[in-house]
Amino acid sequence: MFLKTLSLINYKNFESASFEFDEKINCFVGNNGIGKTNVLDAIYHLSFGKSYFNPISSQNIKHGEDFFVIEGEYQKDGRTEKVICSLKRGQKKVIKRNGKAYDKFSEHIGFLPLVIISPADRDLIIEGSETRRKFVDGVISQSNKQYLTTLINYNKVLSQRNALLKYFSLNHTFDPDTLSVYNDQLDEYGTEIFNTRKEFLNAFIPIFKERYQTISDGNENVSLSYKSQLHDQSLKALLTEHLGKDRALQYTSVGAHKDDLSFEIEGHPIKKFGSQGQQKSFLIALKLAQFDFIKEQAKVSPILLLDDIFDKLDEQRVTHIIGLVNDENFGQLFITDTHPERTENIVKDIHQSYQLFAL
């Protein structure tokens, strides 16, 4: 699978732009602020129906304009697939595949598998647990439609239960029967989510560790573990136990929406004890493991976007990453960099066909 052409209208800083891509390697070079990352984000948009960097859709429309259109033509399984993502101010976003609009965006997820590695990934280390849950859920959802549906249902019931807790507090009332209906549904969906995440991480963690060992030359020990209240108790029992607290807080304080990942290096949190280079290697290993996992599940090489990853990494680690990418296992690759010479030297070493776009 590869992206043949991309055209943008009023997307971020682009009024109108068209690109024809090499099916192996494509590099965007130029100064900061010129739009290199925006091209990658447009490609991400076509896979996920949203921006990787700015989830507020209307803010991706070029200033002073009323709409944006992103159009991509892909070659997949011997067929041409045309995907269009468009948004008009005040209206709902539309995703079309070969002229037919999707009823639900979730139906499109996983059709064009993609992995992005970007400086913004640092949020996985420094931000709260929601960012790490989104990462796990995003990897699983690309190859497991049922999981995505369960997740959507869980979040729907969760917001209904929270609204009910607020209602009880405002009206000084309490109805255990109505609450137990929501508890049963949360328990059903939450248990399924927990079991799927646990199964996924059992498969994912060894892949991640292997990737990190390769990038760091095997000199450092890292660990990744799954933190969940559901390891020790059923969600139903937790909801009963925390009822008093939930009523006081007016929201649900326990469940699968509180799960987290623990990132450690040499037994200590990487957030506090990892150098910039170690943190960056950790994140790249995470994303390359994501690539491996999705490729195995989808039986197709995801498109790989490398946004400005060569800064803050020593030459040895860069060489390792390029060595990994040089493997035949990789499909189409998009790279952004501020140094044209550096990029050209790196891609020449890969011995694959490539295109260089100077923006």
pLDDT tens track for 255-290 = 999 999 999 999 999 999 999 889 988 999 999 999
pLDDT tens track for 314-332 = 666 676 677 667 766 788 9
* Secondary structure element (H or E) that encloses residue 222, with its range: strand 222-227
Q: Name which residue leads in pLDDT, 317 or 352.
A: 352
pLDDT tens track for 77-101 = 999 999 999 999 999 999 999 999 9
State mean pLDDT over 170-187. 96
Residues 270, 216: Cα–Cα separation, whole Å: 14
Domains of the chain and any CATH numbers = 1-113+300-359 (3.40.50.300), 126-297 (1.20.1050.90)
State mean pLDDT over 72-79. 95
Q: Which pLDDT score, from 0 to 100, does residue 93 have?
A: 94
Q: Which pLDDT score, from 0 to 100, does residue 252 have?
A: 97
Does the pLDDT at position 310 exceed 80?
no
Alpha carbon separation from 291 to 91, 119, 211, 250, 315 (Å, rounded): 34, 17, 11, 40, 23
State mean pLDDT over 209-238. 92
Residues 54, 253: Cα–Cα separation, whole Å: 28
Residues 110, 96: Cα–Cα separation, whole Å: 15
Q: Which pLDDT score, from 0 to 100, does residue 349 have?
A: 76
Alpha carbon separation from 208 to 212, 257, 319 (Å, rounded): 6, 23, 18
Residue with tokens 């599940």: 297
Residues 235, 178: Cα–Cα separation, whole Å: 17
pLDDT tens track for 95-121 = 999 999 999 888 999 999 999 999 889
Q: Which pLDDT score, from 0 to 100, does residue 315 have?
A: 66
pLDDT tens track for 19-67 = 999 998 999 998 888 899 999 999 999 999 999 999 899 999 999 999 9
